[in-house]
A and B are shown apart, each in its own frame.
Chain A
Amino acid sequence: MKDLIQKLVESWGPSGYEDRVRELIRAEIADVVDEWRVDALGNLIAVRKPIRPGGMRVMLAAHMDEIGVMATYVDEKGFIRFTNIGGVYPLNLRGGRVQFRDGRVGVINREEKAEGDPTLAQMFIDVGAASREDCPVRVGDPAVFLRDFVDLGPRLVAKALDDRVGCAILIEVMKQLQDTPHEVVGVFTVQEEVGLRGATTSAFGVEPDLALAIDVTATGDTPEARKRPMKLGAGPAIKVKDRGMLAHPKVKDRLIETAERLGIPYQLEVLELGSTDAASIQTSRAGVPTGCVSIPTRYLHSPSEMVDYEDVTNTVRLILGFLREPIDLG
């Protein structure tokens, strides 16, 4: 799966501009699914019909979009001011590189005289232009972090693991799914980072009986980190709660039972901040029993997010195991 993850994370796709990622994923799964479609917002919806009766329509969601920046102003000397697309931390930006849609690279720095905590307003992108007229970037042009994928062996480092690692897991699930009573609808969503917007509309369209989001979660296993129960290498995190949602208790319990039955290591997730597509799917229409499987990830929303590769492969196993049998929520 490492090659697949590398391809996905090195692809370009800030919220609202997911077309390249979508095309990459479509090419991966087109031959293994029964049908696929792209909805009005750009969500890629891939369907695998049930192999045997007795199941439900289960929606699995992973988001394709990544955080980024967008040019707001180009000054007379050709420096670009910018705003954030999604949750960009100013502290992560200085000295970093971003790439625009046409491949052009810029470097980010901060006004030398600026003091205190860094803010986006003090920062600018330099694409090497000599003047406003010479600058190839226009107001409204989006860019994403430029950073190579690194394979550290048991751990992987890259930009946009949030949530391309979830996309890779969902692709693997759609490929490996053999024996299931469920109609499995894999949705590669758009615009999660700016408000779970793709999941909102795709869940309305798909009308699932049950749903799982596959996304990353923060850990508490780095020096002087806030106390959080999640850590790298202890298995997929089965979500109990985050700021936007409380997992359906029976969906959560079913995931726990599946992990224990198959001997897959797992951890339980209580996250005080943040949320995932699961939050908007859960309240779609008259309500959808919804859970979430998270990949513990260090340095979220930085250009160098880190996951444990075994957590990734175990997440695939957990979701496949979850889908194997009929699910009774009664």
Chain B
Amino acid sequence: MEVKTVLQRLSEASGVSGYEDEVRSLVVEQMRALADEVRVDAMGNVVALRRGYAAGGDGPSVMLAAHMDEIGLIVTGVEKGFIRFTSVGGFDDRVLLGQEVIVHGRKDLPGIIGSRPPHVLPASERGRVISHHDLLIDVGLPPDEVTAQVRVGDLVTVNRSMIELKNDLVAGKAFDDRACVTAVLACLDMLQRMRHAWNVYAVATVQEEVGLRGATTSTFAVTPTVGIALDVTFGSQPGVSETETMDVGKGPAIAFGPNIHPAVFERLEAVAKANEIPYQVDPIPAATGTDAWAMQVTKAGIPTGLISIPLRSMHTSVETISLRDLQRAGRLLAHFIAGLDDTFLDALRMD
């Protein structure tokens, strides 16, 4: 599997939380080639099952969760032909001005996010971040045509193509978390050539950015023996404390802390060492802010792990990762799954 091509297709598809249709159809297509069954649940999660050789219908299973939704914008009104909006998920006001966007109205319209020029700003507003309440989208159409094409509740996505930087780094939108969806696909691709005893449920979740909602419901339905979430984590860059970041290009981060079952962490680390996969350790003392947080407290509790890809400039349209980290995350996951057996069930016991 060519991860760069897959990541590019997923990244450039639109799929704001709650409206993941376009990216979902790509994910379903990819999953069908790699899994025994693929279904879409009531929330829109894609749930793909790869059967293990030893597992019956009720045998042990591992669920992988990576979210396919992206942060975006939503229309709140049209004023004199300009479009007002608010965010879905945590879009950062600092990176909105000057963006090229697509307004998903009755048909898709190209637009730009503009603002008053600096020359006319009162002194009190100069040098400040402009709130999205004061930004407007211009699609160029006369007011009556905008009103006919666009209404409250229409979605807006940033129009951005993936670009390749040097040294296997790439930048684009929605790598959070489609880099990890790609890693899950890479893992499933490897598993085609490996034996695994447990059932594998690969879930591309929805609505993570607005509150882990897809992971909440899909974990309930799957009720796995073990859950592994994959998400991005803060990559090292100037101005961000080293203690809060993982190095880009030095391997996926394996999280530990209260959200993580110690035996899952230990096994992931052991697998990385045994297979000479570079990795980093990410201590997270409280909420991980990922699907793992929801998975862990589903039903009577799920032993949970978290693998993260370091990413710079999170929640912008130039999120930056190393393709090598992505491939390593997929490999780590595949080897972890191939090693799951009854002895691991014993390792999970807390008593």
Q: Which residues of chain A have a CB within 8 Å of any CB of chain B?
A: 226-229, 240-241, 244-247, 249, 252, 267-270, 272, 282-289
- Which residues from B are CB-within-8-Å of A270? 74-76, 86, 152-153
Q: Is the CB of A286 within 8 A of B76?
A: no
Q: Is the CB of A240 within 8 A of B152?
A: yes
User: Is B250 at the interface (CB under 8 A from chain A)?
Assistant: no
Complex: chain B residue closest to A270, CB-CB: B76
State in angstroms the CA–CA spacing of A246 and B86 once bound together.
Answer: 13
User: Is B77 at the interface (CB under 8 A from chain A)?
Assistant: yes
Q: Is the CB of B74 within 8 A of A241?
A: yes
User: What 0/1 readout, one digit per residue, does chain B (85-113) give for beta carbons within 8 Å of chain A?
Assistant: 01010000000000000000000000000
User: Is B157 at the interface (CB under 8 A from chain A)?
Assistant: no
Partner of A282, one of B19, B76, B88, B213: B213
User: Is B344 at the interface (CB under 8 A from chain A)?
Assistant: no
Partner of B152, one of A229, A245, A283: A229
- Which residues from A are CB-within-8-Å of B210? 246
Complex: chain A residue closest to B85, CB-CB: A270
In the complex, what's the smallest C-beta–C-beta distance from A235 to chain B, in angstroms?
13
Q: Is the CB of B153 within 8 A of A240?
A: yes
Complex: chain A residue closest to B223, CB-CB: A286
Complex: chain A residue closest to B47, CB-CB: A286
Complex: chain B residue closest to A284, CB-CB: B217
User: Is B267 at the interface (CB under 8 A from chain A)?
Assistant: no
| CB-CB under 8 A for A287 and B84, given A246-B207, A270-B74, A270-B76 | no
- Going nearest first, the 8 A-B pairs with the smallest beta carbon separation are A246-B18, A240-B153, A287-B217, A286-B221, A287-B43, A268-B152, A287-B42, A268-B153
State in angstroms the CA–CA spacing of A83 and B163 once bound together.
Answer: 54
State in angstroms the CA–CA spacing of A282 and B220 once bound together.
Answer: 13
- Which residues from A are CB-within-8-Å of B217? 283-287
Q: Is the CB of A283 within 8 A of B213?
A: yes
In the complex, what's the smallest C-beta–C-beta distance from A211 to chain B, in angstroms?
11
User: Is B320 at the interface (CB under 8 A from chain A)?
Assistant: no
User: Is B218 at the interface (CB under 8 A from chain A)?
Assistant: yes
Partner of A287, one of B41, B88, B133: B41
- Which residues from B are CB-within-8-Å of A241? 18, 74, 88, 153
- Which residues from A are CB-within-8-Å of B317? none
Q: Is the CB of A227 within 8 A of B216?
A: no
- Which residues from A are CB-within-8-Å of B214? 287
State in angstroms the CA–CA spacing of A268 and B75 once bound together.
Answer: 10
Q: Is the CB of B152 within 8 A of A244?
A: no
- Which residues from A are CB-within-8-Å of B152? 229, 240, 267-270
Between A and B, 22 residue pairs with Cβ closer than 8 Å are A240-B152, A241-B88, A241-B153, A249-B19, A267-B152, A268-B153, A269-B153, A270-B76, A270-B153, A272-B86, A282-B43, A283-B217, A285-B220, A286-B41, A286-B42, A286-B217, A286-B218, A287-B42, A287-B217, A287-B218, A287-B220, A289-B42
In the complex, what's the smallest C-beta–C-beta distance from A328 to chain B, in angstroms?
14
User: Is B17 at the interface (CB under 8 A from chain A)?
Assistant: yes
User: Is B151 at the interface (CB under 8 A from chain A)?
Assistant: yes
Partner of B42, one of A229, A267, A288: A288
- Which residues from B are CB-within-8-Å of A247? 18
State in angstroms the CA–CA spacing of A240 and B86 once bound together.
Answer: 12
Residues 129-156 of B at the A interface (beta carbon under 8 Å): 133, 151-153
Q: Which residues of chain B have a CB within 8 Å of any CB of chain A?
A: 17-19, 41-43, 45, 74-77, 84, 86, 88, 133, 151-153, 207, 210-211, 213-214, 216-218, 220-221
Complex: chain B residue closest to A285, CB-CB: B220
Partner of B76, one of A229, A285, A288: A229
In the complex, what's the smallest C-beta–C-beta distance from A196 to chain B, in angstroms?
12
- Which residues from B are CB-within-8-Å of A240? 74, 152-153
- Which residues from B are CB-within-8-Å of A268? 151-153
State in angstroms the CA–CA spacing of A293 and B216 once bound together.
Answer: 24
In the complex, what's the smallest C-beta–C-beta distance from B180 to chain A, in angstroms?
21
A249-B18, A268-B152, A285-B217 given; 18 more Cβ-contact pairs under 8 Å: A227-B77, A227-B84, A227-B133, A228-B76, A229-B77, A241-B88, A245-B213, A246-B88, A252-B153, A267-B152, A269-B153, A270-B76, A282-B43, A283-B213, A286-B217, A286-B218, A287-B42, A287-B43
State in angstroms the CA–CA spacing of A226 and B84 once bound together.
Answer: 13
In the complex, what's the smallest C-beta–C-beta distance from B38 to chain A, in angstroms?
16
State in angstroms the CA–CA spacing of A241 and B156 once bound together.
Answer: 14
In the complex, what's the smallest C-beta–C-beta distance from A238 to chain B, in angstroms?
8
State in angstroms the CA–CA spacing of A244 and B211 once bound together.
Answer: 8
In the complex, what's the smallest C-beta–C-beta distance from B2 to chain A, in angstroms?
32
Q: Is the CB of A246 within 8 A of B17?
A: yes
State in angstroms the CA–CA spacing of A319 and B18 once bound together.
Answer: 23
In the complex, what's the smallest C-beta–C-beta distance from A280 to chain B, in angstroms?
10
State in angstroms the CA–CA spacing of A229 and B45 once bound together.
Answer: 30
- Which residues from A are CB-within-8-Å of B216? 283, 287
- Which residues from A are CB-within-8-Å of B74? 240-241, 270
In the complex, what's the smallest C-beta–C-beta distance from B42 to chain A, in angstroms?
4
- Which residues from A are CB-within-8-Å of B220? 285-287
Most chain-A Cβ atoms within 10 A of its Cβ — which of B17, B42, B217?
A: B42
In the complex, what's the smallest C-beta–C-beta distance from A257 to chain B, in angstroms?
14
In the complex, what's the smallest C-beta–C-beta distance from A233 to chain B, in angstroms?
16
In the complex, what's the smallest C-beta–C-beta distance from B235 to chain A, in angstroms?
29
Most chain-A Cβ atoms within 10 A of its Cβ — which of B75, B76, B214, B221?
A: B76
- Which residues from B are CB-within-8-Å of A245? 213
In the complex, what's the smallest C-beta–C-beta distance from B207 to chain A, in angstroms?
7
- Which residues from A are CB-within-8-Å of B88? 241, 246
In the complex, what's the smallest C-beta–C-beta distance from A56 to chain B, in angstroms?
11
State in angstroms the CA–CA spacing of A241 and B76 once bound together.
Answer: 10
State in angstroms the CA–CA spacing of A289 and B40 once bound together.
Answer: 13
State in angstroms the CA–CA spacing of A245 and B211 once bound together.
Answer: 9
State in angstroms the CA–CA spacing of A250 and B213 once bound together.
Answer: 18
State in angstroms the CA–CA spacing of A246 and B84 once bound together.
Answer: 19
- Which residues from B are CB-within-8-Å of A252? 153
- Which residues from B are CB-within-8-Å of A246? 17-19, 88, 207, 210
State in angstroms the CA–CA spacing of A215 and B168 once bound together.
Answer: 51
In the complex, what's the smallest C-beta–C-beta distance from A254 to chain B, in angstroms?
14
State in angstroms the CA–CA spacing of A245 and B86 once bound together.
Answer: 14
In the complex, what's the smallest C-beta–C-beta distance from A226 to chain B, in angstroms?
8
